[in-house]
């Protein structure tokens, strides 16, 4: 398996097709935009099994709400047959090496708080830190993963050289309900209620001054660990 930076048209084309396959999307990131990212300060990486692209990550410089320039990671995807063998992690770590080389202090991205594998991957495997909660940030995406659900998202920042946040005071746990993906397939209306309810609970705790310190998991699922913290957001 090899990870390399993409810049030529045929490989960017292949990256677009891979994105469409993974998300089942009719409107993947246009190739023209990938060309812009690849040639104007962005980082487009492909993971290859021989000649075949099996994983992709796309990032470009962004400016956060306090004026810091960072690498915004637009997407990360690995073909189902190649998952759970640390390829996603390897792509993120490669992405970080480029960000660091460019002098950027962190990589930022969003993810769906109800996606337990992603929560574990982002917060525990990588150690990204939760920076904020964004309500229905992309509107309805209509793809195979998101359907017509509201796109409530967690906004994380990741710099693997930073120490974790220090918890203090009261700690709380918020479990991700089981069967989220199944409910989304079988009953979209209830899945929407679930998404709104879970995000509403997160927002309520956030507004009480609690922050997400990380994720835990056992055989019954994944949970968020919350605590008061004496530190400002760490990025
Ligand atoms: C998220 C994604 C990129 C992870 O890729 P991956 O190559 O499987 O990731 P890794 O092998 O490096 O996984 C590291 C950890 O993430 C978690 N994880 C990732 N995918 C998982 C899954 N489908 N089910 C359960 N856990 C998963 C696991 O905890 C895994 O560690 P473990 O094997 O010790 O339990 C991949 O699942 C994917 O393409 N998903 C669809 C697109 C998506 O959701 N992208 C992210 C949002 S943009």
Residue 194 included in any domain = no
pLDDT of residue 231: 66
Residue 145 included in any domain = yes
Residue to substitute in 84, 91, 125, 219 for testing ligand 1 pocket (most ligand atoms within 8 angstroms of CB): 84
Provide the pLDDT confidence category of residue 233 given band limits of 50, 70 and 90.
Answer: low
Residues above pLDDT 70, as percent of the chain: 97
Ligand 1 geometric centre to CA of 170 (Å): 30
pLDDT of residue 102: 97
Q: Is the pLDDT reported for residue 213 higher than 60?
A: yes
Distance of alpha carbon 96 from its chain centroid, rounded? 14
Where do the DSSP E strands lie in 43-122? 43-49, 52-63, 69-78, 107-111
For residue 43, give its domain range.
Answer: 2-164
Q: Is 86 in the pocket of ligand 1 (CB under 6 A)?
A: yes
Provide the pLDDT confidence category of residue 95 given band limits of 50, 70 and 90.
Answer: very high
pTM as predicted: 0.93
Residue 80 included in any domain = yes
Q: Is the pLDDT reported for residue 235 higher than 70?
A: no
Residue 190 included in any domain = no
Q: Is 125 in the pocket of ligand 1 (CB under 6 A)?
A: yes
3-state secondary structure of 150: coil
Residue 231 included in any domain = no
* Closest atom, ligand 1, to C-alpha of 84: 11
**What total number of domains does the chain contain?**
1
Residue 218 included in any domain = no
C-alpha 226/C-alpha 215 separation (Å) is 9
Q: What is the mean pLDDT of residues 63-83?
A: 96
pLDDT of residue 98: 97
Do 85 and 41 meet the contact criterion of CB atoms below 8 Å apart?
no
Distance of alpha carbon 158 from its chain centroid, rounded? 10
Q: Is the pLDDT reported for residue 93 higher than 70?
A: yes
Provide the pLDDT confidence category of residue 51 given band limits of 50, 70 and 90.
Answer: very high
Angle ∠(130,228,71) on CA atoms, nearest 5: 20
Residue 227 included in any domain = no
Q: Is 87 in the pocket of ligand 1 (CB under 6 A)?
A: yes
Alpha-carbon dihedral of residues 140, 141, 146, 150, nearest 10 degrees?
-20
Q: Whose CA is nearest to atom 12 of ligand 1?
A: 86
Q: Is 154 in the pocket of ligand 1 (CB under 6 A)?
A: no
Q: Is 117 in the pocket of ligand 1 (CB under 6 A)?
A: yes
pLDDT in tens, 142-182: 777 777 899 999 999 999 999 888 888 899 999 999 999 99
- CATH code of the domain covering residue 104: 3.40.630.30
Q: Is the pLDDT reported for residue 234 higher than 60?
A: no
Q: Is the pLDDT reported for residue 215 higher than 60?
A: yes
Q: Is the pLDDT reported for residue 116 higher than 60?
A: yes
C-alpha 221/C-alpha 176 separation (Å) is 7
Give, for 156, the enclosing helix (H) or strand (E): strand 153-158
Long-range contacts formed by 111-114: CB under 8 A, 24+ apart: 111/153, 111/154, 111/156, 112/146, 112/151, 112/152, 112/153, 112/154, 113/152, 113/153, 113/154, 113/176, 113/198, 113/199, 113/202, 113/224, 114/176, 114/177, 114/180, 114/194, 114/195, 114/198
Residue 184 included in any domain = no
pLDDT in tens, 122-148: 999 999 999 999 999 988 877 777 778
């Amino acid at each position: 398996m090899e990870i390399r930076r993409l810049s030529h048209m045929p490989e960017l084309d292949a990256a677009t097709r891979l994105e469409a396959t993974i998300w089942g999307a009719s409107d993947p990131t246009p190739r023209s935009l990938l060309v812009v990212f690849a040639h104007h300060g962005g980082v487009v990486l492909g993971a290859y099994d021989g000649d075949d692209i099996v994983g992709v990550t796309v990032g470009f410089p962004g400016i956060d709400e306090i004026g810091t320039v960072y690498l915004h990671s637009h997407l990360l995807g690995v073909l189902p047959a190649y998952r759970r063998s640390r390829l996603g992690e390897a792509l993120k770590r490669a992405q970080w090496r480029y960000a660091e080389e460019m002098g950027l202090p962190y990589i930022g991205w969003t993810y769906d708080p109800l996606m337990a594998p992603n929560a574990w991957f982002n917060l525990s495997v990588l150690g990204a830190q939760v920076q904020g909660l964004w309500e229905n940030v992309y509107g309805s995406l209509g793809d195979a993963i998101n359907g017509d659900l509201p796109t409530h998202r967690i906004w994380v920042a990741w710099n693997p050289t930073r120490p974790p946040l220090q918890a203090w005071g009261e700690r709380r746990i918020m479990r991700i309900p089981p069967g989220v993906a199944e409910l989304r397939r079988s009953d979209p209306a209830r899945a929407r209620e679930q998404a709104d309810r879970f995000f509403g609970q997160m927002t309520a705790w956030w507004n009480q001054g609690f922050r997400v310190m990380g994720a835990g998991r056992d055989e019954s699922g994944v949970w968020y660990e919350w605590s008061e913290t004496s530190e400002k957001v760490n990025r």
